[in-house]
Structure 1
Amino acid sequence: MKISVIVPAHNEEEGLPATLRSLLAQTVPADEIIVVDDGSADRTGDVARSYGATVLRPPRNLGSKARAQNHALPRCRGDLVLAVDADTVLAPDYIERLAPAFDDPAVAIAAGNVQTRRTRTVWERGRSIEYLFGFHFHRPIQAGARSPMVCSGCCSAFRRDVLLAYGGFPERTIVEDMDLTWTAQIAGHQARYVGAAVAWAADPETLPYLRKQVRRWMAGFFQNVRLHLPRLLVRKPLLALWVCLAVLEILLAPLWWAAPVLLVHAWHVPLPEALAWWAATELLLLTPPLLYAARRRRIPYRQVLVNLPCVYATRAVNTYYAWRALITELLLAPLGLATPLTTYEKGRPDTRAPTEAGGEAVPR
């Protein structure tokens, strides 16, 4: 089974080498690596060529990851297409562990376990806790039910013929990975989570870029809810259940944040005691899966416990943008009272972005 790799890259001169080195170090090598130099103003194309990759450069910046991937898709010769972000590093055995999922002809899409590459700032530390919890608690449960909610776009593999049948990577929503994961399962194909295949993604280091990323993720989630939920309820009820539970969690999030205040004012519980009950309940739910995940990933327990408080900072950002997306994408946009999010912005600084006459960075 031949494997083609697509790496969409916009001004990724600094991060791209680590990604390409990880691809070249695979125990099961890819048959071709295609880097889409999507309107870069730096040496992205030269860097890719220096590692032996095939470089495609569109005549203009295409504006989103899905469009960049679709630009390369007709050139792919592999039976499988592995889409890798230009800031993601794969474990040496990533392809070796992921490819066997496609021995089952029903499987159309598969992805591995994503962890955070760096934990230097509060935002990266909070994201590391989210990933440890999500990929060692939620994903295994969903995988056991053969209905994963998303195959992460930074390191997912697809059958090329299925991709072509769907018209390529979907461009109708701002998050192509979730769109494709749901579309494939609605059509009767299977999506597979392979926990033993590990990838490390570069996550936002600062609050402004975390906000951009989370805004895109949450807007894309509700765009897909609006687009797919009725068919999910009929064709893939278990996946619809995970989606509905995620929406319910978002709806209840403000109540969770307000719980200490409610305990104080409604039940007259002393504030220190209310905070203690609130924190203890949360830790009781979070800590066991996190310690299990730390053991699986061979991460020191102390490191996980030190990073744990940071998850409340990222969770606050998640709550705000989830509610904003719910109102905009699920309620106002269908009524024509708001415009869905369509501008793709990276969750990291783009210091070399080309500028227009007005001096502002061209969005992608």
Structure 2
Amino acid sequence: MTTICAIVPAHNEEQGLGDTLESLLSQTRPFDEIIVVDDSSTDGTREVALSYGVTVFTAETNQGSKARAQNYALRYVWTDLVLPVDADTILAEDYVALILEPFDNPRVAIAAGCVLTRFDDTVTERGRSIEYLFGFHFQRPIQNAANSPVVCSGCCSVFRTEELRTFGGFPERTVVEDMDYTWSKQAQGRKAVYVGAALAKAADPATMTYLRKQVWRWMSGFFQNVRIHGASLMRHKPVLLLWILIAVWDIVTAPLWYAMPFLMIFVFHYGVLVSMLWWLGAEVVLLFPPLLYGAHRRKIPYRQVIRNFPYVYVNKVVNTYYAWKAMLVELILVPLRLSDGLVTYEKGRP
């Protein structure tokens, strides 16, 4: 029987850690071990973890990133598979049972499920809820069908333990270890899998301050990986490289798309109403079918999706700004040795 261990890296997570551990302890297919890494917390994280009867390791000094905290625990993992879970993420009760299925195929090195937002109370959370609903019900299934997932989400991915150890553990050379490992393994001829039926819910940035920090890290990490893996993927995994180039194209052309109504009005002299209706109509046609499908599949009220939809444009502005900034820094300034790029890991929540 395949064995599996959960690792929960936790730095000052006493408020939400209990919910995460309850979801891990409530799995229909139980974990063989649950390890919490108390990453030098200054609050009651360790006490909360101990109260649930799980294994707790406390780092004497803060590890500085999620990958390092996970590697701190990896040395103690004895199971066949390991599943790192963010301390603000909860797993559906059948998550483990579903995520184990792809590992019957020995070519599979990593698998992850569908991620949705836990909360949609603030502007940034509502915008993220639309981003996740679209991405995990349009982009990820297509990428998976092409055997080229761009990322197995770090909050809920499963790894083969010994293969991960042989690789050197969770990658620490970039600020997004999940994408780094996903691309590395596929370049080596191994398989990454998206399991849409397995559902995780993550707590996302509730304020603009933390949204900016998270998006800056995500975008910097994306372009760090483009710089590191681009040549290797061209040789060994061109289909994955194609999806990456499509993402880069979307980033490059995003400002033009958002400026299109103004170009229609001031350059091509269309009416304001016609220009705005054309642009909004195109957005609805492109975005709403996957959103409605996702809402139907996850039993999310359609009115909730419609209510949250306008807020996605707040997130899109932030995404576009930091994507361009990361592209310039990581692909131009870093190779020219004019910048070190982003090296400090910052969480997307307090």
- The bucket for the TM-score relative to the shorter chain is over 0.9
For residues 331-350 of structure 1, the aligned pairs below 5 Å read 331-349=332-350
Q: TM-score, normalised by structure 1?
A: 0.95
1:149 aligned partner, one-letter code? V
| SS in structure 2 at match of 1:75 | coil
Aligned to 1:257: 258
Distance in 2, Cα, partners of 1:259 & 1:148 = 31
2:297 aligned partner, one-letter code? R
| SS in structure 1 at match of 2:132 | helix
Aligned to 1:142: 143
Aligned to 2:295: 294
* Gaps in structure 1 of 5+ consecutive residues: 350-364
2:272 aligned partner, one-letter code? L
| Structure 1 residue 122 displacement after superposition | 1.0
Deviation string 1:101-128 (CA, Å, 9 cap, x unpaired) is 1000000000000000000011100000
Aligned to 1:16: 17
| SS in structure 1 at match of 2:198 | strand
Distance in 1, Cα, partners of 2:5 & 2:294 = 31
Distance in 2, Cα, partners of 1:43 & 1:300 = 37
Aligned to 2:68: 67
Aligned to 1:211: 212
Deviation string 1:274-320 (CA, Å, 9 cap, x unpaired) is 11111111111111111011000000111101111010000000000
Aligned to 1:356: none
| Structure 1 residue 4 displacement after superposition | 0.9
For residues 257-296 of structure 1, the aligned pairs below 5 Å read 257-296=258-297
| Structure 1 residue 136 displacement after superposition | 0.3
Aligned to 1:35: 36
| SS in structure 1 at match of 2:335 | helix
Distance in 1, Cα, partners of 2:276 & 2:339 = 38
Distance in 2, Cα, partners of 1:272 & 1:328 = 38
Matched, 1:303 2:304: yes
Deviation string 1:239-268 (CA, Å, 9 cap, x unpaired) is 000000000000000101110111112211
Distance in 2, Cα, partners of 1:190 & 1:49 = 36
Aligned to 2:92: 91
For residues 180-219 of structure 1, the aligned pairs below 5 Å read 180-219=181-220
| SS in structure 1 at match of 2:193 | strand
1:36 aligned partner, one-letter code? V
Q: TM-score, normalised by structure 2?
A: 0.99
* Gaps in structure 2 of 5+ consecutive residues: none
| Structure 1 residue 272 displacement after superposition | 1.9
| Structure 1 residue 143 displacement after superposition | 0.5
| Structure 1 residue 234 displacement after superposition | 1.1
Aligned to 2:106: 105
The CA RMSD measured in Å over matched residues stands at 0.6
1:208 aligned partner, one-letter code? T
Distance in 1, Cα, partners of 2:308 & 2:59 = 41
Aligned to 2:173: 172
Aligned to 1:242: 243
Aligned to 1:226: 227
Aligned to 2:319: 318
| SS in structure 2 at match of 1:34 | strand
Identity of aligned residues (%): 61
Distance in 1, Cα, partners of 2:185 & 2:40 = 30
Aligned to 1:328: 329
| SS in structure 2 at match of 1:239 | helix
Moved over 6 A (4+): none
